[in-house]
Structure 1
Amino acid sequence: MSFIRTLRGDISPSELGFTYSHEHIVCRPDYWVQRGEDDLLLDDKDKSKLDVQDFKSHGGRSIVDATAVDYGRDVPAVKEISDELDIHIIGTAGFNKSFLWDAKIKEELKPIIGNYDTYENWIEQASINGITEFVIREVEEGLEGTPFRAGQVKFGTGYNRISPLEEKTLRAVARAHHETKAPVHSHTEVGTMALEQIELLKSENVNLECLSIGHMDRNPDPYYHEQIAKTGAYLSFDGIAKIKYAPESTRIHCILDLVRKGYEDQILVSGDTARKTYLKHYDHGLGFEYIIAKWVPRFIDEANQNGFDGEKLIQKFFVENPARCFTFKK
């Protein structure tokens, strides 16, 4: 039986609806707390809720919260938003990337993982099997000791490199995937190392059709995207609205290039909206409503101008593809 696991329980893929595939809702990453980077702390549940409410008011139904344990997630707060707004939220087990591992481990986690001071110390000293067991527990029992279970497993790698600790977590996450059948998500720094990640996952016998790869629009290289798509993995274009990296025309060109080559069933779209200045109710930013209310109409227009059915593609990117990608395949 196929299902999607949300913080409120398991649902049928047909219930997922219009979905953002990579966001952050409430999080206080200790790494950024230590450095005084307030913009990177989404630390007000009520303000976050207002942005999620804007998304819902335009027809949004589900959000994948890609916040892992080492990024300061607040699972109870996100679950409350899900309940109060009647919106599906998928939680994430696993890890982000190694530069965050010097963050301090929450006190409530120490009884679960052992008395380590930082995430880096834990990952370095624990066995792959021990890390795997932690990830499995977050999928099958609950995130950080709560009863709210994860709906995907995640690992991450750095810019143009994969460190030994990142490979260790990748292998642990791959093994947790085999045990739980949870879909796999990867963080790529500036869109690099995706093919190298894929080779490591192949060595762990992971079915790449269960994998979504983040931040593909940070590396707007159509040839590179095609090599990834050929493996069967999903490509997540999750930097919408971040003009400082590239104009929207570049993202849309890359997406349509993949569609032209026949890979429209492997594309996901989201915003990775993880700063106060990106959000409307924190600091007057474009907010969670931007993609669904403004980017989608633009994409439809550009797709239609290029001979595609824009509305059909939006249905794929935000409804049909997420419903397949985030399904547990037992």
Structure 2
Amino acid sequence: MAFIRTLTGDIAPEDLGVTYAHDHLFCIPPLWKEKKIDDFMIDDLESSIKDVELFTAAGGQAVYDATAIDYGRDPSALRAISERTGIRIIATAGFNKAIMWPGQMAGTGGTFQAWIDSHSRAEIRDHVVHELTVGMDGTDLRGGVAKFGTGYNTISDAEDKVMRAVLDAHKETGSPLHSHTEYGTLILEQLAIVKAEGVDATRLTIAHVDRNPDPWVHRKAAETGAFLCFDGISRIKYHPESVLIDCILSLLKHGHKDQILVGGDIARRTMYRHYGEGGLGLGYILESWVPRFIEQANEAGYDGQALFQAFFIDNPRRAFVFKP
């Protein structure tokens, strides 16, 4: 029987509700902590909760928190956020990307890179399976998605090993998959490995596709059946919202409505409203971006409200499901 694994228990897919498909509600990335990059320290539980309350006030009900162990995952803090705000939180098993692996891996006495180099593909698979089925970081809180990632136009040997190990963990557990793409690069190359490993691409969500606003690449990725996550909303320094919306409309034109997901990938104190920086906050997408998108979709001849239902409710129900 299909289910979605949250930090407060497994639920039926229809119970997920309005969902952000990629955010970071609490994280202390080891490498950025070592480098004293304070903006990446999403480490104040009360401030995170206040921003989540903006999300719930705007109608939000669930978040996929894409924080893997190498990015400073804290499943207990996420569980507390879930319990105090009432939202569903899906947590992340697996790993993010090699750029984070010089950081210290807790409990090992060394770096993530050293741990990965000293473990086989099968051992890494077993580690990820444990996170999905037993618990993460010494707790009984289980991940709901298995994650891997690649670098900017590069896939290191270690990233390749981790990616294939995560795909093996998916085969063993039936978990959904999520991939990090650095600036939206190597989307099709990741999908080629997924195919070579015999994994159904419909089980994968690809993050950061809007960092590379190339409609042809998006269309070719969508033709595999994968979900595409537009999670750069509000990052005007990369692209204005019009570019992202045009990419979404292009996918709609080619019949890929059922593969589009949306999130904010909020992972900086300056992006949160309640971390003392006065950022747009976790409610921004539902408060401001969704009305704009619905208006522009209607102008383009689509039913904007129906697309909101698809992107934020129907598609996440399918993207985040376990199929044992």
User: TM-score over 0.5 for the alignment?
Assistant: yes
One-letter code of the match for 1:185? H
1:305-316, aligned counterparts within 5 Å? 305-316=299-310
Percent identical among aligned pairs is 51
- 8 Å CA contact 1:116–1:122 kept in 2: the answer is no
Deviation of 1:73 (Å): 1.4
1:125-140, aligned counterparts within 5 Å? 125-140=118-133
Instruction: Quote the residue 1:328 is aligned against.
Output: 322
1: distance between equivalents of 2:48 and 2:86? 15
1:141-195 Cα offsets, whole Å, 9 max, x none, are: 1111211111000000000111100000000100000011000000000000011
User: In the alignment, does 2:213 pair up with 1:232?
Assistant: no
2: distance between equivalents of 1:88 and 1:252? 27
Instruction: Quote the residue 1:144 is aligned against.
Output: 137
User: In the alignment, does 2:300 pair up with 1:280?
Assistant: no
* DSSP-derived class of the 1:186 partner: strand
1: distance between equivalents of 2:109 and 2:269? 30
Deviation of 1:270 (Å): 0.5
1:124-203, aligned counterparts within 5 Å? 124-203=117-196
* DSSP-derived class of the 1:281 partner: coil
Instruction: Quote the residue 1:250 is aligned against.
Output: 243
1: distance between equivalents of 2:109 and 2:215? 43
Q: 1:290 to 1:95 in 2, by over 3 A?
A: same
- 8 Å CA contact 1:265–1:317 kept in 2: the answer is yes
One-letter code of the match for 1:65? D
* DSSP-derived class of the 2:220 partner: helix
One-letter code of the match for 2:254? K
For this pair of structures, how many residues does the alignment match? 323
Deviation of 1:116 (Å): 4.5
2: distance between equivalents of 1:244 and 1:6? 33
Name stretches of at least 5 consecutive residues in structure 1 with no aligned partner: none
Instruction: Quote the residue 1:318 is aligned against.
Output: 312
Which of 273-282 and 194-203 deviates more?
A: 194-203
Name stretches of at least 5 consecutive residues in structure 2 with no aligned partner: none
1:53-103 Cα offsets, whole Å, 9 max, x none, are: 110111100000000000111211110010111110000000000010011
1:185-230 Cα offsets, whole Å, 9 max, x none, are: 0000000001111111112111100000000000000011001000
1:1-330, aligned counterparts within 5 Å? 1-106=1-106, 110=107, 115-282=108-275, 283-330=277-324
1: distance between equivalents of 2:318 and 2:77? 27
* DSSP-derived class of the 2:110 partner: coil
